[in-house]
């Protein structure tokens, strides 16, 4: 079973590439972030033609998440239970579903913007709510994983130049402690370093030749429970999909399971 996560940075802009990628990779389940569309405008018909069912949480702003599956789609939960509002709005940043033998969450963790910004405090509250919401599934016997854009680099090795991020979001002790809390709940990072290259970044800024110069960050993660981790047979960052005209600024992260 092949499961992936991908921040597509607008499914409308990326749809031709997305459809081609799904066909070429044979992905069974895709956790998608930053749809930047509404649930009603989500291209479910086009995906259905390839055999995928869709569960979507999107309101047409800068967020939006989905689970796309041809392995079944049941017990869908839209949103983050107990999650905080931001400026009075429950943002569409989480959705979960059971896909055959595996349960997954697709998450788009708040960016945080700046450490002194209200959005940073919101990010930490959101991560605390995520920890509480996934605890039961993490402790269960069914393979379970939280996949998505966490907007956190787990270690300094996951940032192309840590000196440029001092006192910035994505690398602060509080954010990394929130990841550690997920690990304490029974989840672990199932995409280890190194893979096929020393620094398997997943995000590169469009500006200043970020991708050609490999000025990236590893912020798209797959955190699985013990049964999920035990089933992992291979994993990789699909850097090829970051290349060329019209690419997202994130690459897909792919995990192959024996389930």
Profile the chain (259 residues) by mean pLDDT over runs of 10 residues.
98 98 98 98 98 97 95 98 96 98 98 96 98 96 98 94 93 96 95 64 94 95 98 94 96 97
User: For position 200, what pLDDT does the model report?
Assistant: 81
Per-residue 3-state assignment (H helix, E strand, C coil) for 129-193? HHHHHHHHHHHCCCCEEEEEECCCCCCHHHECCHHHHCCCCCCCHHHHHHHHHHHHCCCEECCCC
Q: Kindly tell me the sign of the dihedral angle through the C-alpha atoms of 68, 69, 74, 75.
A: negative
Closest CA to 134 of 81, 200, 73, 172: 81
- The tens digit of pLDDT for each residue in 92-151 reads 999 999 999 999 999 999 999 999 999 999 999 999 999 999 999 999 999 999 999 999
Distance CA 120, CA 108 (A): 14
User: For position 195, what pLDDT does the model report?
Assistant: 54
CATH class of the domain whose range is 2-251: alpha beta
pTM of the model: 0.96
């Amino acid at each position: 079973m092949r499961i992936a996560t991908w921040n597509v940075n607008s499914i409308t802009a990326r749809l031709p590439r997305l459809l081609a990628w799904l066909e070429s990779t044979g992905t069974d389940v895709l956790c998608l972030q930053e749809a930047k569309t509404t649930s009603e405008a989500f291209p479910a018909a086009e995906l259905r033609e390839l055999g995928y069912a869709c569960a979507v949480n999107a309101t047409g702003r800068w967020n939006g998440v989905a689970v796309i599956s041809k392995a079944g789609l049941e017990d869908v939960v839209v949103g983050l239970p107990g999650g905080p509002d931001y400026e009075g709005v429950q943002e569409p940043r989480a959705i979960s579903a059971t896909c055959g033998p595996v349960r997954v969450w697709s998450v788009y963790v708040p960016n945080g913007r700046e450490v002194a910004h209200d959005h940073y405090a919101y990010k930490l509250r959101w991560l605390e709510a995520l920890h509480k919401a996934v605890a039961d599934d993490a402790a269960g016997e069914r393979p379970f994983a939280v996949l998505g854009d966490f907007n956190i680099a787990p270690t300094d090795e996951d940032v192309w130049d840590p000196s440029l991020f001092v006192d910035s979001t994505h690398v602060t002790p509080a954010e990394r402690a929130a990841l550690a809390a997920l690990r304490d709940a029974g989840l672990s990072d199932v995409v280890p370093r190194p893979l096929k290259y020393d620094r398997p970044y997943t995000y590169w800024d469009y500006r200043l030749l970020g991708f050609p110069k490999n000025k990236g960050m590893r912020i798209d993660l797959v955190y699985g429970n013990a049964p999920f981790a035990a089933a992992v047979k291979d994993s990789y960052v699909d850097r090829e999909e970051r290349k060329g005209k019209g690419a997202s600024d994130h690459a897909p992260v792919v995990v192959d399971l024996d389930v």
